[in-house]
Amino acid sequence: MLKRSEVEGLLDLGALLAVLEAGFRAISAGETSVPPRIASLSPDGLLGVMPAWLPGTLSTKLVSVFPGNHEKGLPSHQALVALFDERTGAPLALLDGTYITAIRTAAASGVATRLLARPDASRVAILGAGVQGQSHERILRDELGYTDIALAARSRGDSFVDAVRTADIVCCCTDALEPVLRPEWLRPGTHVNSVGGSPRGRGELPAELFESGARLFVETRGVFSPAPAGAPELAGLDPALGTELGEALAGTRPGRSGVEEVTVYKSVGHAVEDAVAARLVYDRAVAEGVGVTVTL
């Protein structure tokens, strides 16, 4: 068993970016087994179940999403990750998944940004200053090397319009019920990451963004499914509009096609991201003798 402080100390972020890239390639190559996410709804939130297998790793995550927790001083997303032996099904580890969820989401945006942002992109606008906003700032600054980062929060009265209009990279990290940006705010060549939105709302991104010619990139085309498996802002759109990150990484479909193209990565979270992150933590914990061993 590994508690949060141990997970944080064991998870190397540079290595996480590398295994996420490999995980996205495996997804698009059909080398994983990941059923659609399911969830039980309560009056105040949901409890999602996210099992996954890819060669070497068998895992599941239980994640609760309660947007009202911010008012109680609690994270909106809380989680556990369980790892199993892929050959016998025996339980191997139970890990705190709250930190894994926060940092793997931002790291996946880091993969998308490294792949899709213009080479000369320099200014970053992050919309939302909560857990995801802070995690994105950490990944973009410490792992990708961006230093000109504006963190905008509506709770502070910051203007999302002003932040977006001067940015080369925009990260939407909110729990908004309605879209938080407009296509006309984006400069030509901007790259957008969107990881937030409320499961009970319309999502962070407006439908007009895709109608305006922006190129859409996704973890899998399952993102077009109804919630909780998919993104509400993509419901009803043609899945052919989306290019999977793994396809672009492998070169089977193109990534950015020009300096003025607007690219959008829409994430709903994928169980393979949790699986590869948890496996990194577990392998290092075993090697270094970290954690508590219990008999079930």
The CATH number linked to 253 is 3.40.50.720
User: Both 31 and 133 in a single domain?
Assistant: no
Terminal-residue alpha carbon distance, the chain: 11
User: Both 91 and 133 in a single domain?
Assistant: no
User: Both 260 and 127 in a single domain?
Assistant: yes
- Tens digits of per-residue pLDDT, 32-58? 999 998 999 999 999 999 999 999 999
- Name the average pLDDT for the chain: 95
Confidence of residue 256 (pLDDT cuts 50, 70, 90): very high
What's the CA gap between 36 and 249, in Å, rounded?
23
Confidence of residue 207 (pLDDT cuts 50, 70, 90): confident
The answer to whether 130 and 41 are in contact (CB under 8 A) is: no
Cα–Cα nearest to 245, from 69, 17, 79? 17
Segment among 146-155, 199-208, 211-220, 241-250 with least mean pLDDT? 199-208
- As a whole number of angstroms, the longest Cα–Cα distance in the chain is 58
The structure tokens listed for 92 are 């191997």
User: Both 124 and 141 in a single domain?
Assistant: yes
68 is in which domain, residue-wise? 4-100+272-288
DSSP summary character for residue 187: P
Confidence of residue 73 (pLDDT cuts 50, 70, 90): confident
User: Both 278 and 257 in a single domain?
Assistant: no
| CATH number of the CATH domain containing 50 | 3.30.1780.10
Q: What size, in residues, is the chain?
A: 296
pLDDT of the residue at 199: 64
Is residue 172 assigned to a domain?
yes
Bridge partner residues of 57 (DSSP): 54
Is residue 192 assigned to a domain?
yes
User: pTM of the prediction?
Assistant: 0.95
Is residue 295 assigned to a domain?
no
> How many domains are there within the chain?
2
Is residue 127 assigned to a domain?
yes
- Phi, psi (5° rounding) for residue 286? -65, -45
User: Both 20 and 78 in a single domain?
Assistant: yes
- Tens digits of per-residue pLDDT, 209-246? 988 889 999 999 999 998 888 898 898 899 999 999 99
Is residue 109 assigned to a domain?
no
User: Both 77 and 150 in a single domain?
Assistant: no
Is residue 110 assigned to a domain?
no
The answer to whether 181 and 160 are in contact (CB under 8 A) is: yes
User: Both 159 and 250 in a single domain?
Assistant: yes
DSSP summary character for residue 33: B
User: Both 133 and 256 in a single domain?
Assistant: yes
Confidence of residue 92 (pLDDT cuts 50, 70, 90): very high
DSSP summary character for residue 36: P
| Sequence-ordered list of residues with C-beta below 8 angstroms from that of 103, at least 6 positions apart, any chain | 11, 13, 16, 135, 138, 139, 277
Question: CA geometry: angle at 261 spanning 259 and 262, to 5°?
Answer: 125
Cα–Cα nearest to 36, from 216, 199, 247, 227? 227
Is residue 107 assigned to a domain?
no
Average pLDDT over residues 278-283: 98
Is residue 148 assigned to a domain?
yes
User: Both 18 and 142 in a single domain?
Assistant: no
Q: Which residues of 266-285 are buried (b: 16+ CB within 10 A; e: fewer)?
A: bbbbbbbbbbbbbbbbbebb
Q: Outline where DSSP puts E strands in 16-122.
A: 38-42, 45-54, 57-65, 77-84, 91-96
DSSP summary character for residue 32: -
- Report DSSP letters for 72-96, one per residue: GTS-SEEEEEEEE-TTT--EEEEEE
Separation in Å, CA 279 to CA 197, 199, 271: 28, 28, 12
How many CB atoms neighbour CB 28 within 10 A?
Answer: 22
Cis peptide before 228 (omega within 30 of 0): yes
Is pLDDT above 80 for 255? Answer: yes
User: Both 194 and 280 in a single domain?
Assistant: no
